[in-house]
Structure 1
Amino acid sequence: MSEATRKSTELMPSGSDPSSARVRIRHFSKSLPMSLLRAREAVMRHFRASLRRFGITEQQWRVLRALTSGESFEVTELAEATFLLAPSLSRILKDLDERGLILRSNLPSDLRRGIISISPVGQNLIERAGVESEAIYREITGRYGSERLAELQGLLRQLEECLEGPEIAG
């Protein structure tokens, strides 16, 4: 019996069919989703205090930043752009609207389709918070290096593009 066969059969209950053997999965700390989450957490840890000073959450900041990249968004487009589920986005938009940070309207051709844009008050908040945000980016860039940061962003874009399309069958 080969070493690989012996190891795989060690994981099976006695008398089991080898075709139904349990697979030994990689260590939790080595999983790609966890590595990405840890890196995200390491980055966001530096931005949270600034966001709190401006009275906004990470998700609210994400929505406001997305709104600065275009004139207006349909709600479904905004959900896709910010990777927020519709129910979460609805609550966030309600809060941002109550605070006067966004403007809501409907498509004249279809009143069911909501259009969201950033208000002048929201734009002012982005400009003020953006000063701190850019200072944090400069600090991160100083620690990690501008070339390495650009390379990392390129690698992440490549990973995203490579995984677009049909899901990988398991």
Structure 2
Amino acid sequence: MSDRDHEALSGGLAGRQGGARHRGRLRDISRSLPIALLRTREAVMRQFRPALRSVDLTEQQWRVLRALDSVPEIDATGLAMATFLLPPSLSRILRDLEGRRLISRRPDPADLRAWLISLTPEGRKTIDAAGVWVETIYAAMTDRIGQERLGVLMQLLRDIEQDLDAPLADHGGGTPDLRGE
């Protein structure tokens, strides 16, 4: 993003053009928590993408393999929750990973409508191959950020997730009608 684009989005031009700041409704986009988290996520993932490309994996496929690496096997619902993937996306990813023989699926004896998913030996080899790069990247990021700051960040993220796990209290009048009726 150029300096001018950043200035425009952070409110520099909004004030001159009667933007959101003067309406009094929305904070500047530069102060938006969701946007800040997305910018940070992008900065982090930019570091990892070359390692994932080296083993021909997408970010979502890597999330699935990493989640499967931590359990002997899991059903699709649990895997969707662990990876924050929507079931239709997860189904497509599982089909692709199974086609590459990185995962296997078998019927769940307790519920024949469900499948249990696990890593194959080839899937473990893929994780091991990418893992060398990934841990090197983590070490470089830790050097740049600092072990203490990274620890504080991780704790803050866990705390915020826990604090926001339940719906926020109603702040006057329930859910607004955004349809303009």
Task: Name which one, 1 or 2, has greater alpha-carbon Rg.
Answer: 1
- The TM-score, its normalising length taken from structure 1, stands at 0.85
Tell me the equivalent position of 2:73: 72
User: 1:55-110 CA deviation, whole Å, 9 max, x = no partner?
Assistant: 00000000000001111111000000000000000000000000000010111121
Tell me the equivalent position of 1:63: 64
Secondary structure of 1:164's counterpart equals coil
Partners of 2:152 and 2:134 in 1: how far apart? 21
Partners of 2:167 and 2:72 in 1: how far apart? 31
CA apart distance, 1:164: 1.0
User: 1:7-65 CA deviation, whole Å, 9 max, x = no partner?
Assistant: xxxx9xxxxxxxxxx64210012100001000000000011011111100000000000
Aligned-pair identity (%):
54
Partners of 2:169 and 2:119 in 1: how far apart? 37
Q: Which runs of 5+ in 2 are unaligned?
A: 1-17, 176-181
CA apart distance, 1:167: 4.6
- The TM-score, its normalising length taken from structure 2, stands at 0.80
Partners of 1:71 and 1:49 in 2: how far apart? 28
Q: Which runs of 5+ in 1 are unaligned?
A: 1-10, 12-21
Structure 2 residue 89 is matched with structure 1 residue 101? no
Which runs of 4 or more aligned residues in structure 1 lie more than 6 Å from their structure 2 counterparts after TM superposition? none
Partners of 1:71 and 1:168 in 2: how far apart? 39
Partners of 1:69 and 1:168 in 2: how far apart? 35
Partners of 2:70 and 2:169 in 1: how far apart? 31
Distance 1:167 1:102, change over 3 A: farther
Secondary structure of 2:105's counterpart equals strand
Partners of 2:80 and 2:146 in 1: how far apart? 32
1:109-148 alignment, distance < 5 Å:
109-148=110-149
Tell me the equivalent position of 2:11: none
User: Letter of the aligned partner of 2:123 in structure 1?
Assistant: G
User: Letter of the aligned partner of 1:46 in structure 2?
Assistant: Q
1:72-91 alignment, distance < 5 Å:
72-91=73-92
Partners of 1:137 and 1:74 in 2: how far apart? 29
Secondary structure of 1:112's counterpart equals strand
Partners of 2:164 and 2:78 in 1: how far apart? 21
Count residues in correspondence. 150
